[in-house]
Amino acid sequence: MMHGTWLDRSRRPPAGRVLAAVSIMPALALAGWLVAGVPLLLLGRFTPLPAFALGGALAAALCWYGPRVAIRREAPEATAWQVSGVLVVAALSAVFNGVLHSEQLIVRRDPGTYAQYAIWLAGHGSLPIPYDLAAFGGPDTALRFDSVGFYDHAGAVVPQFMPGAPLILAAGHWLGGVTGLLVTPAVLGALAVLTFAGVVTRLAGGRWAPLAALVLACALPIIYTSRTTFSEIPSMILLFGAVALVLDARLAARPRVTAALAGLAFGLAVVVRIDGLRDLLPVIAYAGLLVALRRVAGRGAAFAPLGLPLLGGLVAGAALGLVAAFLAARPYLSYLSGSIIPLLAITGVVLLLTAVLAAAGPALLSSRVRAAALTERLGRRLSWPAAALVVLVMAGFAVRPWLQTVHRTAVTRDDKANAQFIGGLQRSNGLPVDPTRLYTEQSLNWVIWYVGLPVVVLATLAAAVLVWRMTRGRGFAWVLPLAIIGWTTATTLWRPAITPDHPWASRRLVPVILPGLILLAVWGLRWLTGRARGAGYGGEARRWLVAAGGVLVLVPGAVTSIGTAFTQADRGEAAAIARMCAAIPADATVLIVERATADRFTQVVRGMCGVPAARVRPAGRDLAAPVDVDRVAARVRAAGRRPVVLAAEWSQALPYGPPAHVVALDTRQDERSLAGAPDGTWSLKINVWMAEPASSRPAAP
C-alpha cells in the first residue's frame, strides 16, 4: 500500500490538504495533455480519438497520482471557509469571464492567430497547412499564401507561435465548437487563480489565500488574458503549479517523483511560450544548489535529494518544447533569432555553471560545520546589503522615467511597421508623435496601474525581508519562488519587448510578475500583522490592520478594471464569419485582392470556411492588378472550381462582378492606450465584399 497518501479515507480530509491537492491538478492536467499532444501533432495524428485517449488518460492519471505522492498530512493549514473562498473566487472568475469572453477570431493580432491555429489543429490535426495549389490551377507568381500570423515556409503555411496554447484550445473546440474554444480561456483563467491560491496557502497561509485570489482575479491583465486566446494564462498555470510541487516535494511521500513532476511542468512552459526559457534559469540554478547541498546538509527533509529529479524533469519538458519549436514553428524561431540565440546561449552557460556547482559544491563545503560557519559569516555581512539592493532595484525602476526615454531606430520592415503603428496610436491618444518611442521606461508604472502602489510597496518590503532572512539561513522554502519572481520581474520590466499599447502590453505581466507581487504583498501583510502582535497590539487592532491592508491591495486594481471589465470585446465576430462562410460556395477558391482583408481573412477562410484561399499580390495601393486576378480566376475555373474574390470595399470587388456584402461587422475592440491604464473600448468596423468573376468580361477602356 502506498504510504503517506494525501487522502485518509477514514475521515474527511483536512481542508488544507484538499486545497493543496486541487491546486496542483491544473498544472498536472496540462502537463499530461501536452506530453501526449505534442508528439501526436508532430506525427500528424492530433485528432480527437487519440488525443483524448492518450492526452486525456495521461492528464487524468497525473491528477490522480500527483496528489497521492506529493501531499501528506503536513499539508498547509487552511479552514473549510478559506478553501471555499478560494473556490468561489475561481468559479466566479470562470463565469464572469466566460459570459463576457472575447470573440477575436479575425486575425488582427495574436489572439486571432492563436484561435485560427487551434481551429486548424482541431479540424486537421497536423502541420504545416498546405497551399492546395491544385485548387488554383497550379502555381502562379501572383499568388501569396502567407498572412498575419502565418508564415509561408518551404512550400506550405506555418502558424506563428509555439503549439502549446493551440493544443489546449483545440480541446475546447472539440468539446464545444467555436464557442467552446472561445470560453476555454475563461476556464484556464479560473484554474490559474486556483493554482496561484495554492502557492499562497503554502507560503503565506490559508488565511491569505482568498484575498490573494480575489486581488489576482480582479486585475485587468488577468481578466484580459482570461477572455482571449493568449498563451500567458497556461504558462502561469504550469509555472505556479510547478512551484507548488517543489514546495510539496520536501515533505512528499515520494519526493523524487514529486520533484520530477515539478521539473516537467516547468519545462513544458517552453511548449507554451518560447521565452519561458528565461523563466527557467533560476530553476536550473536552484536544482544545482540542491545537488550541491545534499551531501553537506545530509539526507534530512530540508535538502532531500530533489535536485537531479527536478533538473531531469525540466530538461525533458524543455526538450519537448524545443523539438516542437524546431519542427512546428521554425519560421517563428528564425524571426526571433536575435533574442532566442542569446537566450539559448545563456541557458547553456547556466546549465554548465550548475553542473560545476553540483560537482564542486560538496568538495568546497566538505562538512556541515564549515557550511554553517560560512553561512553565518556571509549572512552577517550580506543580509542588510542584499535587502537594501531589493529596495534600490525597485526604486531604480520607479525613477527610470525621469532618467531615460527608450527609443528604437527602425531598421527592419517589422520595426518600420511597428513605428508607424506607434505613431498612429500617439495621434489617437493625443500625444506628441515620436514613432521611435517604446515607453519601456514606464514598465513599473504599468504594474502600478493594474495592482496599485500598495501592492508594489508591500511586495518590495516583503522581498527585502525575505532576502534578509534567507541570507541568514532561514526561509529556504522561499528561495526558488523568490528567485523566479525577482528574476522575471527585473528582466521583464527592463525590457518588456512588446508594442507598448494597453491592455495589449499588460500580458507581459501575467505569467509571473502580477501573481508574484501579489503573493509577496499578502505575505508582507502577514509579516506586518506579526510585527504588530510582537509590538503588543491586541486582536482588535490587528484585525483593523488586516482589513485596511486588504482594502489597499484589492481596491486600486479593481477600480482600474471597472472601465473595461463589463464590456465584451470583438462581439459578433463568430456570427459574421459564419455568415461569410455560408455565402462562399463550397467549391470555391478564394482570391483576396486587398491587403487588409488578406491579412485578416486568409486563414479564416482556409480554416473556418474550409475552402482554399490566397491573396493576389498587390500591384499598387494595396490592390491586386485586375489582369493578375483574371488570369488566376481562369486557371481556377480550368481546375473545375469557382473563383471568388474578396475585398474590403464595394468598389474594390465591383470590377469582378456584382458585389455581395458578406461581412458587415460593427463592434468594440480593446483600447490602445500608451499613457495610462485603459478605461474603455474603441469602435471597430470591418467590411468584406464578395464577387464571382465571370468567365469573360469586357476589357477596361
Q: What was the pLDDT predicted at 335?
A: 87
Q: What was the pLDDT predicted at 295?
A: 54
User: What 3 state SS string does 296-341 have?
Assistant: HHCCCCCCCCCHHHHHHHHHHHHHHHHHHHHHHCHHHHHHCHHHHH
Expressed in percent and rounded to 5, the helix, strand and coil fractions of the chain are 65, 10, 25
DSSP 623: E
Neighbours of 587 (CB within 10 A): 11
CA 318 – CA 260 distance, rounded (Å): 13
- Mean pLDDT of each 10-residue bin along the chain, 701 residues long: 42 80 97 98 97 97 94 80 96 98 96 98 97 96 96 95 97 98 98 98 95 98 97 98 95 92 97 93 91 61 74 96 95 86 86 76 55 59 88 96 89 82 93 93 97 97 95 88 96 94 96 98 95 86 91 96 94 97 97 97 98 93 93 96 97 96 97 94 96 68 41
Q: What was the pLDDT predicted at 259?
A: 96
pTM: 0.94
- Cα–chain center distance at 642: 41
Question: Using alpha carbons only, how large is the chain's radius of gyration in Å?
Answer: 27
Q: What was the pLDDT predicted at 6?
A: 43
Q: What was the pLDDT predicted at 250?
A: 85
Query: Cell for 121?
Result: 489543429
Phi, psi of 691 (to 5 degrees): -140, 150
Query: Cell for 29?
Result: 492536467
SS3 for 620? strand
C-alpha distances (whole Å) from 396 to each of 204, 430, 440, 441, 493 are: 27, 28, 13, 10, 11
Q: What was the pLDDT predicted at 367?
A: 52
Phi, psi of 648 (to 5 degrees): -85, -25
